[in-house]
Amino acid sequence: MVAKQLLNRGLVSVWQQERLRWLDFGDGAVQSIIDIDHPDQLISPVYHAMLAPMLFVPIPKRILLLGVGGGALARYFNYRFPAVQGEAVEILSPMAEIARRYFDFPAEENGWRLIVEDARQYVSVPSEKYDLIIVDIAHQQKTPDWITAPKFLQDCRRTLTDCGVLVLNLLMQDAESFGQSLWNLRRCYDKRVVCLSVPEYKNIELFAFHGSVPQQLSGELESRASEMAKRWGIAFLPLAERMRQENPVGSGVF
């Protein structure tokens, strides 16, 4: 079946082919895929990787999403863990409407608010503390420089609970830019940082922990991954193994 265009607003289009619906920003990247028959599933491996730090911390009670897209993560938590609440911040009001209309963004009565605001402004004067902050913002398939600048990273840390974790979904253009981003994050979060690549994608995930990570958790990572896989519907074991391979002992968490 040929894909059908459901919406075209110039910079963004919504497409559907059989059960799958996705966003297209005109840059060749497919984003925010939803299986409309199984909206509780996370299809993209990138989103799976974003949730890898859950191997180290309890299920979050409150989440902040900076950058919404189709709202896949909000939808996922709403179906899988309905007690979890959160805010999603999106600077473009048309994107917020698309998330609601085409991608089943959860309603406010389910504990999720969709806020049209600049992410930098939101975390600079936070009214809440969050157990999990996920930053998923890109422009022309590149992470804006301000996301890995010390000011924004510090603001995010002040917005985290004591056991909270920050997730940065990065699209970097070169090794030098990534190296500087990693240095800034390690410096801000006292070296409690984990890297995770996403095979066959350009994305690199960085996880920064506000507080210390219990050492026994890093030692029991694989067994915890196996236990979590069924409840979360995510293959955590390959993520755990890749994290261990990509983060040397003594790097901050392992």
CATH code: domain of residue 196: 3.40.50.150
Number of domain units in the chain: 1
Q: Select the more confidently predicted residue: 70 or 109.
A: 109
- Specify the pLDDT at position 216: 55
Does residue 1 have a pLDDT over 60?
no
pLDDT > 90: what percent of the chain?
A: 67
User: Is there a domain that residue 30 lies in?
Assistant: no
Region at 88 (left for phi over 0; alpha for psi -120 to 50; beta for the rest): beta
Q: Is 33 a domain residue?
A: no
pLDDT tens for 78-128 read 999 999 999 999 998 888 999 999 989 999 999 999 999 999 999 998 789
Residues 134, 137: Cα–Cα separation, whole Å: 9
Confirm whether 36 is domain-assigned: no
Q: Is residue 88 part of a domain?
A: yes
Per-residue pLDDT of 16-44, as tens digits, reads 888 988 888 776 667 788 899 998 899 99
How far apart are the C-alpha atoms of 99 and 44, rounded to whole Å? 17
- What Cα–Cα distance (Å) separates residue 13 from each residue in 60, 102, 202? 32, 11, 22
Q: Pick 207 or 29 by higher pLDDT.
A: 207
SS3 readout for 146-204: HHHCHHHHHHHHHHEEEEEEEEEEECCCCHHHHHHHHHHHHHHCCCCEEEEECCCCCCE
Listed in sequence order, the residues at least 6 apart from 98 whose beta carbon sits closer than 8 Å to its beta carbon are 7, 9, 12, 14, 23, 70
Its pTM stands at 0.93
Nearest alpha-carbon partner for 206 in 233, 227, 179: 179
Pull the structure tokens for residue 220: 């029991």
Contact 106/134 with Cβ under 8 angstroms?
no
Q: What is the predicted pLDDT for the residue at 85?
A: 96
Q: How confident is the model at residue 214 (pLDDT cuts 50, 70, 90)?
A: low
Q: Is residue 14 part of a domain?
A: no
Token duo for residue 236:
């955590």
pLDDT tens digits, residue range 138-189?
887 889 999 999 999 999 999 999 999 999 999 988 899 999 999 999 999 9
Q: Has residue 241 been placed in a domain?
A: yes
